[in-house]
Homo-oligomer: A and B are copies of this chain.
Amino acid sequence: MPPIPRQSSLRPESGQRPWQALVHEIIYEADTPAGKAFDVLLLILIIGSVAAVMLESVPSIGDRWGDELRVLEWVFTILFTIEYVLRLICVLKPMGYARSFFGIVDLLAIIPTYLTLLPIEQSLQAALVIRSLRLIRVFRIFKLAQYLTEADSLLIAMRAAAAKITVFLVIVTSVVLIMGSLMYIVEGDPNDPTNQFTSIPKGVYWAVVTMTTVGYGDVTPQTWLGQTLAAFSMIIGYSIIVVPTGIFSVEVIRAMDKSLSTRSCPSCSKYGHADDAKFCKHCGAPL
């Protein structure tokens, strides 16, 4: 039986006027042509506004096209404001939306531009912080994830692996602290001008850069003892860093296996049976 395509079914819920139901359908739903078009348009606007903020920060572009980009910023802000107001109006429980994750992000994305109107002293640093907050709007793209049911099994795997990842992070933190201060002792000769391990925090920074295999090379050991220690900590670090990869793979396999066994028990209707199960593991009825 093919799935019935959900066409514009304008049956307003109790307490909702017809135009509210229509707007709700366009903004919050994605399985009607209008809703789909709205989502695509919104995505383009978000990418455009992020690009505008990024371009304005480039000195050569910001100096030349600064005025045009600021106008564009206001256009984006007004469009997002209209969207935010519409979202508030067309739902039955406006506070529910306003308090949700996307509600807060949507609000934070439009506030900064309005704040620049206030007669407060605007230091450059503060203005930058405000502008960059708009980048969080990118998270709205995650709505995409809602339509990808795959995201569910990812989340299940992440939640299942959370405890193991915590243990792992504690071990990594300890190893990084010990390696960093060991290198500070070995390399940190205050009388050596080429010495780059000037403090324990610097050593810990080096340890993180090394253990994650990022390896900038801005802090590197100069003595043979330091280089030997560094070589060992790389191999050890690599062995440690292998752990979460293994853990996560296992959790993804499990999450998928669970989502796979779509057989439900004819007696108790419960899911989650293994592939080779012959009897329901919940009530014992034959499957």
Which one of A3-11, A15-23, A111-119, A215-223 is at the interface? A215-223
Asked whether A231 lies within 8 Å of B205 as measured between CB atoms, the reply is yes
CA distance A237 to B174 in the complex (A): 19
Q: Which residues of A, 29-78, contact B by the 8 Å Cβ criterion?
A: 50, 53-55, 57-59
Query: A234 an interface residue at 8 Å Cβ cutoff?
Result: yes
Instruction: Fill in one digit per residue for A157-199: 1 if any B CB lies within 8 Å of its CB, else 0.
Output: 1000001111111111110011001101100101000000011
Asked whether A208 lies within 8 Å of B185 as measured between CB atoms, the reply is no
CA distance A216 to B283 in the complex (A): 59
CA distance A227 to B164 in the complex (A): 27
A95 to chain B, nearest CB (A): 26
Asked whether A279 lies within 8 Å of B281 as measured between CB atoms, the reply is yes
Asked whether B227 lies within 8 Å of A185 as measured between CB atoms, the reply is no
A171 to chain B, nearest CB (A): 8
Query: A280 an interface residue at 8 Å Cβ cutoff?
Result: yes
CA distance A218 to B179 in the complex (A): 20
Q: A177: which of B138, B181, B220 is its contact (CB, 8 Å)?
A: B138
Q: Quick one: copies of this chain in the complex? A: 4
CA distance A171 to B143 in the complex (A): 11
CA distance A178 to B105 in the complex (A): 13
Given contacts A174-B142, A184-B128, A200-B54, contact A208 B234 (CB under 8 A): yes
A283: B residues at CB distance < 8 A: 278-279
CA distance A220 to B173 in the complex (A): 22
A129: B residues at CB distance < 8 A: 185
Q: Which residues of A, 236-287, contact B by the 8 Å Cβ criterion?
A: 237-239, 241-253, 256, 272-274, 276-286
Given contacts A205-B230, A279-B284, 6 further A-B pairs with CB under 8 A are A54-B204, A138-B174, A138-B177, A154-B243, A214-B234, A272-B274
| 5 A-B interface contacts by CB (under 8 A) | A59-B190, A132-B181, A216-B217, A239-B244, A278-B281
